[in-house]
Structure 1
């Protein structure tokens, strides 16, 4: 929640991890229904997000160099979402990302979950906290 300190990229990373944990919990709650919950990551794409990561000139130059050599194009970042929405093998609970070097870009495929992201205990806690913080509950999806 970044209550004791805020760093933009740290908060971004935490939010992305929470998305994965939440999707895993939703997949568990959907169980054997006809619906699926998947998590998708776009890899690393060259967007305006990198422009605001560093304030010093050297940092911006390093990001520009990394972007040219390690990151994919912004339009390629949509591929994992399209795969998740349309591929018949995209199973409930799957985590989809680019298959290229370090999962930064490339053709989408199922990717390994980050360590601990599939924990049922963590997922149940995040679900309860989300309900508490937002005041929104989903009675049909209660564990």
Structure 2
């Protein structure tokens, strides 16, 4: 269930000296408190959440891999290696970013590559079709179809 908390400014709730909470009572919101000419409201959505949520599917797939695994020690080692690789790559990027000329040079290379990619694959229709064919071939190779 989703909920939103908001602080509304005075012109939305106060008309002269009279508050407009009478009109708010008709809406599916509940006032929490009013202070300093502001009112905090909580709005809650009703209904069931969708079962196809990305976070739920990721959690379920991780649980399935853990439950069906024969080598749990290997999975723990793989997870530790992934965390260590993430930590090392973040530190490496931080060190490279602190060097004087390298970030500017890498940004320039990125701009040049992006310009080449747009010219090569996105500017003309036959090139876009070629890009779609390359992407479809790569996806079929990855998924084994």
Which has the bigger relative contact order, CA under 8 A and spacing at least 6? 1
For the pair shown, the structure with the greater C-alpha radius of gyration is 2
